[in-house]
């Protein structure tokens, strides 16, 4: 009975590893044509079975998943990059024509792309004028690191009176390409401390025996694949990560991905454990419009430095990395 249960768990981990490989591939090639044949080869499943397996694991069909990610990426670009035309965004997100993109966008968001862009621009201007940081959907984000690792809180935020002061620590950094091992989660995560404890413990249980946690340059990150203001809560994806040497072998539920090289705005915060999303809102809504930069099409992440500690017992240190490009 024990052997049978172990076999089932091993089989599940193998399937999950292959599905994660497909998710990473789709994210990296979203602007390109993606076929069932191509993706089933990435997953190493037969073309006959792959679609059904994907649907069981993801709760939606492969075609709907790709369609949804393209639209959600487009929604973010429309809101953040006013210099790009609707036609350019449509092609960047893998749509065959601006007309098909517009029809799909309105079907999903109930607004045309231009209506969406206008609404988001007006909201952004209002937030800047009023100092409005109360974005309920996005400000309840992360929970905390488990005590055995760092005893560092992940759900962190500064009080509004400290925003401008802390914002002065934003610097532009050129980061090299970085490999990370990850544990992935899909679903709601806001304020769920036990969830993050489980994810980090699972990652460390794998990395520890392999000597990856003892490395002097090991760093811990959380990568966010979706914008919580755009993606439905039960479909949000995140990856809890540790940096690893290139070509590190992974297995089962542990995947490996590469953080793209490039320019990042690195904002260091020393924060309490209340309203973490407000730090992200400040970076996007206050610092970014005045910075001379636009957000770039790479994944943002949080980094938890091990070489610095807050002098205040109820505050933690976190670096938020936002990919940027010059206007």
User: What distance in Å separates the CA atoms of residue 64 and residue 323, rounded to the nearest whole number?
Assistant: 27
What's the confidence (pLDDT) of residue 274?
A: 57
Residue 28, SS3?
Answer: helix
Nearest to 52 by CA among 40, 34, 41, 70: 40
Counts of helices then strands in the chain (DSSP H, E): 11, 9
SS3 (DSSP) at 225: coil
Low-confidence ranges of the chain (pLDDT < 50): 1-7, 132-162, 165-167, 273
pLDDT tens, 16-34? 899 999 999 999 999 999 9
Using alpha carbons only, how large is the chain's radius of gyration in Å? 20
From the number of C-beta atoms within 10 Å of its C-beta (0-12, 13-18, 19+), residue 235 rates as middle
> Which pTM does this prediction carry?
0.74
Reported in sequence order, the residue ranges of 4-142 that DSSP labels E, i.e. its strands, are none
Length of the chain as a residue count: 327
CA distance readout (Å), 189 to 61, 156, 197, 291, 313? 23, 14, 12, 30, 25
């Amino acid at each position: 009975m024990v052997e049978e249960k172990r076999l089932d768990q091993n089989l599940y981990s193998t399937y999950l590893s292959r599905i994660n490989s497909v998710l990473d591939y789709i994210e990296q090639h979203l602007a390109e044509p993606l076929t069932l044949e191509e993706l089933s080869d990435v997953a190493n499943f037969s073309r006959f079975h792959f679609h059904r397996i994907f649907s069981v694991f993801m709760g939606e069909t492969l075609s709907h998943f790709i369609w949804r990610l393209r639209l959600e990426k487009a929604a973010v670009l429309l809101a953040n990059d006013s210099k790009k035309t609707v036609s350019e965004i449509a092609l960047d997100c893998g749509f065959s024509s601006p007309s098909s993109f517009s029809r799909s966008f309105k079907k999903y968001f109930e607004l045309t792309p231009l209506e969406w862009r206008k609404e988001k621009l007006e909201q952004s201007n209002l937030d800047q004028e009023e100092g409005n940081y109360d974005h309920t959907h996005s400000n309840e984000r992360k929970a905390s690191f488990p005590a055995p690792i760092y005893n560092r809180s992940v759900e962190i935020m500064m009080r509004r009176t400290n925003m401008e002061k802390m914002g002065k620590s934003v610097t532009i950094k050129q980061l090299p390409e970085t490999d990370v091992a990850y544990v992935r989660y899909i679903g709601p995560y806001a304020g769920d401390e036990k969830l993050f404890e489980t994810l980090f413990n699972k990652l460390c249980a794998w990395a520890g025996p392999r000597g990856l946690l003892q490395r002097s340059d090991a760093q811990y990150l959380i990568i966010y694949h979706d914008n919580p203001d755009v993606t439905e809560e039960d479909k949000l994806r995140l990856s809890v990560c540790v940096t690893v040497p290139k070509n590190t072998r992974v297995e089962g539920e542990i995947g490996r991905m590469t953080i793209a090289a490039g320019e990042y705005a690195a904002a260091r915060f020393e924060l309490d454990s209340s309203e973490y999303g407000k730090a992200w809102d400040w970076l996007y809504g206050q610092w970014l419009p005045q910075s001379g930069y636009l957000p770039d099409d790479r994944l943002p992440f949080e980094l938890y430095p091990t070489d610095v500690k807050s002098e205040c017992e109820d505050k933690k240190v976190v670096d938020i990395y936002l990919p940027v490009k010059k206007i």
